[in-house]
Structure 1
Amino acid sequence: MTADGHPEVATDAGVVRGRWRPTTGGRGAPRSAAFLGIPFAEPPVGDLRFAAPVPKAPWEGVLDAAAYGATAQRGDPGVVLIPEPSIPGDSTLNVNVFTPSPERPAVGAGLPVLVWIHGGGYFAGSPASPWYDGRNFNRDGVVTVTISYRLGFDGFGWIEDAPSNRGVRDWLAALDWVRRNIAAFGGDPGRVTIAGQSAGGGAVLTLLGMPVAQHLFHGAIALSGVLTDASAARAEAFGRDLAARAGIAPTRAGLSTVLEERILDLQKKATSIGIRGLRAAFTHGLQLGPTVDGDLLPRPTTEALRGGAGADKPLVIGTVDDEFAMAFTEGPMARITPLVPTGAILAALAVPKRQRAPYLAANSDIAARGKARLAGRALSDKMFRVSVPRIAGFRGDAPTWTYRFSWPSGRFGLAGHCLDVPFFFDCLDGSAVEPLAGAHPPQSLSDEIHSAAVAFVTAQDPGWPRSAAGGPVSRVFDLPSTNRPDAYASVRPLLG
Structure 2
Amino acid sequence: MTSVFDTVSGPVRGRAPDRGITAVLGVPYAEPPFGADRFRAPRPRRAWEGVRDCVEFGPVAPQSAELPGAPRWSPGDEDVLGLNVWTPARGSGAGSHLLPVLVWIHGGAYTFGSSAQPDFDGAALARAGLVVVTFNYRVGFEGFGHVPAEDGDACPPNRGLLDQIAALEWVRDNIASFGGAPDNVTVAGQSAGATSVACLMTMDGARGLFRRAIAHSAVGPVFAPELAEQLMRKVAAEAGIAPTPAGLATVSPHALLRASDTVVEGLRQDTFSGRLSWDPVIYGPVADGHVLRADPLELIAAGAAPDIDLLVCHTTQEYRLMGAVGSCAEVDSEEELARFAADFGLPASLTSGYRRLVPEATVRDVHLAVYGDLSFGEYSNRLAVAHARTGGRTFRSRFVRQRGGSGPRVYAWHCADVPFAFGNLAEECVHFLIGGPPTPADHRLSDRMVAAWAGFAATGDPGWEPAGGVPPHAIKVWGTADPGAGPDFWQDAEELRALWSAYTYRPEQP
Cα distance in structure 2, aligned partners of 1:450 and 1:388:
20
Q: Aligned residue for 1:412?
A: 409
Q: Aligned residue for 2:14?
A: 18
CA contact (8 A) 2:310 2:384 kept: no
1:289 equivalenced with 2:261 (yes/no)? no
Q: Give 1:32-111 correspondences, 5 Å limit.
A: 32-75=21-64, 77=65, 83-88=69-74, 89-101=77-89, 103-105=91-93, 109-111=97-99
Structure 1 residue runs of 4 or more that deviate by more than 6 Å after TM superposition: 329-335
Deviation at 1:375, TM superposition (A): 1.3
Cα distance in structure 1, aligned partners of 2:94 and 2:495:
47
| Paired positions, count | 477
Change (3 A) 1:297 1:74: closer
Q: One-letter code of the match for 1:85?
A: P
| Aligned counterpart for 1:491 among listed residues 497, 501, 505 | 497
**1:86 match: secondary structure:** coil
Deviation at 1:120, TM superposition (A): 0.4
CA contact (8 A) 1:329 1:372 kept: no
Q: Aligned residue for 1:26?
A: none
Deviation at 1:210, TM superposition (A): 1.6
1:135 equivalenced with 2:119 (yes/no)? no
Q: Give 1:107-118 correspondences, 5 Å limit.
A: 109-118=97-106
**1:265 match: secondary structure:** helix
Q: One-letter code of the match for 1:320?
A: T
Q: Aligned residue for 1:403?
A: 397
Q: Aligned residue for 1:301?
A: 296
Which has the bigger relative contact order, CA under 8 A and spacing at least 6?
Answer: 2
Q: Aligned residue for 1:394?
A: 386
Q: Aligned residue for 2:144?
A: 156
1:415-436 per-position Cα deviation (integer Å, ceiling 9, x unaligned): 1111111101001111312222
Deviation at 1:468, TM superposition (A): 2.6
**1:495 match: secondary structure:** coil
Q: One-letter code of the match for 2:496?
A: S
Change (3 A) 1:434 1:49: same
Q: Aligned residue for 1:447?
A: 447
Q: One-letter code of the match for 1:491?
A: R
CA contact (8 A) 1:228 1:286 kept: no
Change (3 A) 1:468 1:287: farther
Q: One-letter code of the match for 1:394?
A: A
CA contact (8 A) 2:103 2:134 kept: yes
Q: Aligned residue for 2:428?
A: 431
Q: Aligned residue for 2:210?
A: 217
Cα distance in structure 1, aligned partners of 2:291 and 2:418:
30
| Aligned counterpart for 1:7 among listed residues 3, 16, 20 | 3
Change (3 A) 1:486 1:329: same
Task: Provide the TM-score with structure 2 as the length reference.
Answer: 0.86
Q: Give 1:143-182 correspondences, 5 Å limit.
A: 143-160=131-148, 161=150, 162-182=155-175
Deviation at 1:448, TM superposition (A): 1.1
Task: Provide the TM-score with structure 1 as the length reference.
Answer: 0.88
Q: Give 1:240-251 correspondences, 5 Å limit.
A: 240-251=233-244
Q: One-letter code of the match for 2:225?
A: A
**1:202 match: secondary structure:** helix
Q: Aligned residue for 1:457?
A: 457
CA contact (8 A) 1:31 1:135 kept: no
1:307-347 per-position Cα deviation (integer Å, ceiling 9, x unaligned): 11111111111211111124446769898615757545544
Moved more, 116-125 or 466-475: 466-475
Change (3 A) 1:320 1:260: same
1:466 equivalenced with 2:466 (yes/no)? yes
**1:204 match: secondary structure:** helix
Deviation at 1:393, TM superposition (A): 2.2
Cα distance in structure 2, aligned partners of 1:102 and 1:56:
26
Change (3 A) 1:472 1:68: same
Cα distance in structure 2, aligned partners of 1:141 and 1:233:
45
Q: Give 1:334-345 correspondences, 5 Å limit.
A: 337=332, 340=335, 343-344=338-339
Gaps of 5+ in 2: 483-489, 503-510
Deviation at 1:114, TM superposition (A): 0.4
| Aligned counterpart for 2:313 among listed residues 308, 318, 336 | 318
Cα distance in structure 2, aligned partners of 1:248 and 1:480:
56
Gaps of 5+ in 1: 23-29
